[in-house]
Structure 1
Amino acid sequence: MRWHFSPETGSPFWLDRVRDLDFDPLTDIRTFADLTRFPNYAGELRDVRAEDLIPRGYGERPDVVGVYESGGTTGAPKRIVLLRDWLDRLVEWSSAQLDAHGVPQGVNWLSVVPSGPHMVGDIIKRQTAHRGGLTFGVDLDPRWVKKLIARGDTAGAGAYAEHILDQVRYVLRSQDIGVLMCTPPVLERIAADAELAELVNEKVRAINWVGTQMDADSRYLYRTEVFPDTVLYSGYGSTMILGNAGERPGLGHDDPCVYDPYSPYMTLSVVDPETRRPVAYGERGQVVMHHVSRSLLMPNNLERDHATRIRPPHGAEQTGDSVADIAPVREFDNETVIEGVY
């Protein structure tokens, strides 16, 4: 709190808003639960100057990796700034998560995810390099697909998906790919294509799925029949917390897909959307995300997802909740939620 609310080190974004708070962050924010006292300022990230999000403590030439946007699922995109020190920390943590699942190091990745203004593509490039491989990319444009779906153009959305598969095919035919990263809708189409499924089984040792969710039956089928010799691993993330929660290692085929966050920097709560109070463990509610690090303070952000509240791993020093069975709300910020390919 001292870093983010001191004139010498805080960002213009927070130094401007501290005047509107009915509490003093320097004296009144002492615990994880106290973060709920902050208003949800995430909506203001649609219009704020990106420069105003950078803490002054980084100096005149901060090491900015990039300015990234949310998917725009619920209206105009929100923007966030990714700084080098946080990226380095995130990559180290994410790499350890991959090791825990048996995802091989020293192999190339085929990353079929959004790039451009979206953060995930750049993070995967840096993570792959950190683990000793090359990244081959196929860009997804989630906003375009969502527009096609919203206006009922199923043929156009299908044609776009085939365009993606064509590019995946070119890479898998010609390159050594050890890890495939894609969304469940793309993976479903790959599995239904005989040549692509064969190429994945021949070359790929791990599939990292992200974005939209996968039902338990599909997850079981991929693991046991479609890609039986391949590690299947997933993440649940958001641009607004500058990262993702990782799938808990050691889950059985019948277990729900549980996600544990990078605590204490990225933390989750599952709450009743009306009262904003935590639901009981095992009950469903809406996800609230918090990010607290030197590079960013973004607390109390009500996300567009419902989830089941899960206890943290036994013996883990984790702040906040773990989550399972992620599903989007029907409407968010007065906009209909369309997932599309991501």
Structure 2
Amino acid sequence: MALADPVLDSPKEAAADPDAFVRAAMHWHFSPGTGSPFWLARRSELGFDPLTDIRGHADLARFPNLASELREAPVGELIPRGYGERPDVVGVYESGGTTGAPKRIALLQDWLDQLLAWSSGQLDAHGVPQDVNWLVVAPSGPHMVGDVIKRQTAYRGGLAFTVDLDPRWVKQLISGGRAAEADAYAEHIVDQAAYALRSQEIGVLMCTPPVLERISRRDELAELVNRKVRAINWVGTQMDADTRHLYRTEVFPDAVLYSGYGSTLILGNASERPGLTDDDPCVYDPFSPYMSFGVVDPESGEPVEYGERGQVVMHHVSRSLLLPANLERDTGLRVEPLPGQVGDSVADIAPVATFEDQNVIEGVY
């Protein structure tokens, strides 16, 4: 592996001077010896020179949104040459693929190590226990979330019990008017979760709000969760403030209720801000400066005011991947960032009605 600027590898150094971090990343990703074939081939088409014109985080907005090219781009061409001939690739993962062909990306071990350490610290901040087993009801297969959470569980000293969830199939059933089949599939998911809850010691339950709602309908399962589970990590589709309050105060009062908001194309997730009250919307703070958010007017591309709703833009900048200016299929409220964080925080996430000329269906994830 080629040597890189140390600022790319140290979260403390990167956070101390995020603009220097961005400049180091540009040097890595656009130098012939270390950059990826994907970006080196596009350098001359950008209309600016990333080595001289991108001077800090604010300049990432100058990049075009090339995320759609990841539907067809050979994944190997996204890996920087600086990793050598045998890069330590954890896996190749796909976006949801529910608004067209999926986009593909590679997850490298050095980035995963950083992500797990940061995510574990966020879980600690919310009081999620270590050294307990997790029941993970989430997409696996080509999706990143299931694999990463299994590794997160091991990192924190537990065993992961898994139930595979295929969001593409559920959304296909819903879009085809086959609601009864979608309902039966969702109940099949809950049945499998029930086997683990009955027979194993489960300290953390990870699932989506639709799955959690179905679990809460079954008195036996709700009682098992209350007796065994010490934290519930919900992800995927969103949960409104009233429902979150009901779960915290009446349905699962003894469990920590915690959420994350992520995307395969930022190679991770943002963390719910600790200390929020039941009256606050879920505010998500990213792993800055590696992941960062903007909230923009979808027509003009300009940032909306704090407290206003716009479409979420995500940037990922690390040694393993450069993917700036990705316009997501979500809207959110623009929130002032934490001290030292670059970009925005986001709250009250909701899907757009259509994305890339396709209707957006939430389903079970």
Q: Scaled by the length of structure 1, what TM-score is found? A: 0.99
* Maintained 8 Å contact 1:114/1:141: yes
How far is the alpha carbon of 1:339 from its aligned partner?
1.1
**Alignment equivalent of 1:6, drawn from 19, 31, 42:** 31
User: For 1:186-201, what aligned pairs fall within 5 Å after superposition?
Assistant: 186-201=211-226
**Alignment equivalent of 1:40, drawn from 52, 56, 65:** 65
* Maintained 8 Å contact 1:73/1:339: no
What is the aligned partner in structure 1 of residue 345 from structure 2?
322
* Maintained 8 Å contact 1:173/1:199: yes
What is the aligned partner in structure 1 of residue 360 from structure 2?
337
Matched, 1:115 2:140: yes
Unmatched 5+ residue regions in structure 1? none
Partner secondary structure for residue 171 of structure 1:
helix
How many Å separate the matches in 1 of 2:281 and 2:55? Answer: 33
Quick one: percent identity of the two aligned structures?
A: 76
* Maintained 8 Å contact 1:246/1:261: yes
Partner secondary structure for residue 116 of structure 1:
coil
Could you report, residue by residue, the CA deviation over 1:66-112 in whole angstroms, capped at 9, with x for unpaired residues? 00000112111000100000000000000000000000000000000
How many Å separate the matches in 2 of 1:254 and 1:189? Answer: 24
How many Å separate the matches in 2 of 1:286 and 1:162? Answer: 33
Could you report, residue by residue, the CA deviation over 1:165-211 in whole angstroms, capped at 9, with x for unpaired residues? 11001000000000000000000000111111011001000000000
How many Å separate the matches in 2 of 1:340 and 1:151? Answer: 12
What amino acid is aligned across from residue 325 of structure 2 in structure 1?
N
User: For 1:10-159, what aligned pairs fall within 5 Å after superposition?
Assistant: 10-159=35-184
What is the aligned partner in structure 2 of residue 214 from structure 1?
239
How many Å separate the matches in 2 of 1:205 and 1:254? Answer: 23
Q: Scaled by the length of structure 2, what TM-score is found? A: 0.93
How far is the alpha carbon of 1:284 from its aligned partner?
0.5
How many Å separate the matches in 2 of 1:91 and 1:331? Answer: 33
What is the aligned partner in structure 2 of residue 177 from structure 1?
202
**Alignment equivalent of 1:238, drawn from 248, 255, 263:** 263
Aligned length: 340
What is the aligned partner in structure 2 of residue 205 from structure 1?
230
Unmatched 5+ residue regions in structure 2? 1-25
* Maintained 8 Å contact 1:109/1:177: yes
How many Å separate the matches in 2 of 1:227 and 1:339? Answer: 24
